[in-house]
Amino acid sequence: MEASGKSRLTAEQEAEIAALRDQRAETARPVAPGLEEILYKPLPVLDHGFVRVIDYMGTDDAVVQAARVSYGRGTKRVQEDRGLINYLLRHWHTTPFEMAEIKLHVKLPIFVARQWIRHRMASVNEYSARYSVLDREFYIPEPNHLAAQSASNRQGRGDILEGAEAEEVLNLLRNDSMQAYDHYALMLNEGDGDARREDRQGLARELARMNLPLNFYTQWYWKADLHNFMGFLRLRADPHAQYEIRAYADVMIDILKRWVPVTHEAFLEHRMGAAQLSATAVKAIRRMIDGESVTAETSGLTKREWVELCAVLERDA
């Protein structure tokens, strides 16, 4: 749902991307062919957002070379590289994955950015509304993502809003955002046309911006190493993560696959598709394997832990 007819990119950004993709440079460094295909291109997220790969350093080779240098062995065959990367992730080794890095240009709603920045493991440079005027671009959820507060989870969503209630909420979000931007532009007293008055100086940009709600879009450059990149994805691509940040994480998982396909495969196996169990949960599973009928009351687990274990084992709690 568009708040305006504007492109996700400015004309200047589109021209810059075209110029960058026209450039070709020879290099002796390993490159990721899949990532080269999308380099600089905006990958759409939500209604106005995107993720762009700006630069990267290292591939799967960088991981295995870093791991093997610690005991004086060089690179081996592809199958051995796959086994090593799986071993490293399975046993939670981190340093070899810090040897590859990636830099992204991300356009995202401010409330998503405030969640994202909690991952304090990257270099970030954000668009400054102190120096520049923000565009009239704000996030409005699609109706199928407009949900009530969950009754059982303070951080989650419940049933989807429908009918007149959903329409009222959408109208409030849209109208409030439009009005907030109108007032922002009025306070700035910048630009051409009827909105500008020669008898007014206008409020400083660093003050006028405080009137804008959290669904307005910001942009930043975000650079992280592969280890922390996967740490972000493990949390934010999880089904329990908020939909809006998960939408970005889903795009980034595809970027991971294009960048380091072997590591991506191991990441899905040992992080996204795996489960971490407590010592008590492991004991309960051993008792089940031995044929004992283990219940919530006899498992030694709390009620919540028991429900989580049953979900992992795909059995009724």
Catalytic residues: 236
CB 75 within 8 A of CB 64: yes
Task: Say whether 128 counts as a known binding-site residue.
Answer: yes
Tell whether 214 is in a known binding site: no
C-alpha 117/C-alpha 120 separation (Å) is 6
**243 annotated as ligand-binding:** no
State whether residue 49 is helix, strand or coil.
strand
> Do 95 and 275 contact (CB within 8 A), yes or no?
no
User: Has 92 been labeled as part of a binding site?
Assistant: no
Q: How many CB atoms lie within 10 A of CB 180?
A: 17
Alpha-carbon span 257 to 265, nearest angstrom:
8
Does residue 315 have a known ligand-binding role?
A: no
Annotated binding-site residue? 101: no
**Nearest partner of 235 among 248, 223, 221, 225, judged by Cα:** 248
Residue 209 marked ligand-binding? yes
Tell me if 52 is assigned to a ligand binding site: no
66 labelled binding-site residue: no
Judge whether 130 is annotated as a binding position: yes
Sign of CA dihedral 231, 234, 235, 241: positive
Asked whether the beta carbons of 260 and 269 are under 8 A apart, the reply is no
Alpha carbons 187 and 22: distance in angstroms, whole number: 41
Local structure of residue 150 (DSSP, 8 states): P
Annotated ligand binding at 13? The verdict is: no
The answer to whether 263 and 85 have CB atoms below 8 angstroms apart is yes
The answer to whether 102 is annotated as binding is no
- Binding-site residue numbers for dUMP are 115-118, 126-130, 209, 236
- Binding-site residue numbers for FAD are 95, 118-120, 126, 225-227
- Binding-site residue numbers are 95, 115-120, 126-130, 209, 225-227, 236
